[in-house]
Amino acid sequence: MPANQILIFDTTLRDGEQVPGCKLNTKEKIELALALEDLGVDIIEAGFPVSSPGDFHSVEEIAKIIQRATVCGLSRAVKQDIESAGRALRHARHPRIHTGIGTSDSHIQSKFNASRQEILERAVQAVTWARNLVEDVEFYAEDAGRTDDAYLAEVVEAVIDAGASTVNIPDTTGYCLPHQYGEKIAYLVSQVPNIDKAVIACHCHNDLGLATANAISGVIQGARQVECTINGLGERAGNTSLEEVVMVIRQHRELGFFTGIKTQRLNPISRQVSEIMRMPVQPNKAIVGSNAFSHSSGIHQDGFLKDSQTYEIINPEEVGAEGSKIVLTARSGRSALAFRLQKIGYPFNRNDIDALYQRFLEIADSKKEVLEEDLHQLAKAYASTIIAV
């Protein structure tokens, strides 16, 4: 793996499926797993095998068909979980067991009623069990975002020694600010002696709307894997959005990173996930929302029509979107009206547009959007007045 490549770990089929109402059956999981591999995802977290017979079967079937990507199964730091994941992944060409335990004092005391030392020992034992089953083991330090840095470094060093090749540093509650999360990654890079033997992964939740910003901050400070989901699906307010992370990295070439994602597939797979998981994408969602490349303000429309880059930093075709849209509302100006009329066959001159514009505003004030049929009626009515004169 090149030093500047950012691995994309997709957990739509595991963390994304935890959204209420988004449960997937095996056929649906297989369909999306194949789409994710086609997208260029490096690691597909296919599920949590011990959680149910259905999920075990789904992970097992996905493991059989995926050719290039790593197939990953989640487990707790429990031997039964780890063995179940190992069995589900036995047919995978590139299997990974993702195991771990909570490391924050909140989790240690309230969830496990244990000591830091006991959690450290359980973490090492879990990685050891997993390493006996597969070569590729990822360890997650749940609630790392609120874990004491020195203790987190101690745990990370121990699990790498035990055989973990990836260490996941989750901001499980979405609590961290970008600089805080980045500083945590930087601390691990500088303070863990064997950190060069493992890939650091970011797994950020979006409770404060900072998941993508936190993940990028982690990458800047040394993380080389981002765990994310299509459309940002996930527990509570969701996870880091795959399409956002990929396009931040692609747009900001000065960062010096790249991913293997085929960006032209981003909008198609977004729609596919939305349909299969029955979860609409909010219109103003970055990259894949229906309004992501729409312009309705007259000032924006005028600038865009003169040079698209004045208001669009991404070419819609680059992410598989249908193209930019000039949406006509009461906030639209003459340039946009002329553009839309010309597109449907009415090449009016400037004087015509000036005459049409007041009538256009009357229509626009009466409805949310002026549609193509409204424009036809407007144009025909105006043409008839010219003929009459």
Which residues have a Cβ under 8 Å from the Cβ of 361 and sit 6 or more positions away?
330
Longest dimension (CA), the chain: 92
pLDDT tens across 174-187, in order?
999 999 999 999 99
Query: What pLDDT is stored for residue 126 in this prediction?
Result: 98
Give the residue among 330, 321, 326 at the shortest CA–CA distance from 304. Answer: 326
User: Which helix or strand (DSSP H or E) is residue 47 part of?
Assistant: strand 43-47
Regions of the chain short of the pLDDT cut 50: 389
Query: What pLDDT is stored for residue 388 in this prediction?
Result: 54
Decide if 293 contacts 324 (C-beta within 8 A): yes
β-bridge mates for residue 99, sequence order: 75, 139
Decide if 6 contacts 226 (C-beta within 8 A): yes
How crowded is residue 187: how many other Cβ atoms within 10 Å of its Cβ? 16
pLDDT tens across 263-315, in order?
999 999 999 999 999 999 999 999 999 999 999 999 999 999 999 999 999 99
Determine the Cα angle at 299 with ends 294 and 304, to 5°.
Answer: 50
Distance CA 215, CA 205 (A): 9
Query: What pLDDT is stored for residue 2 in this prediction?
Result: 87
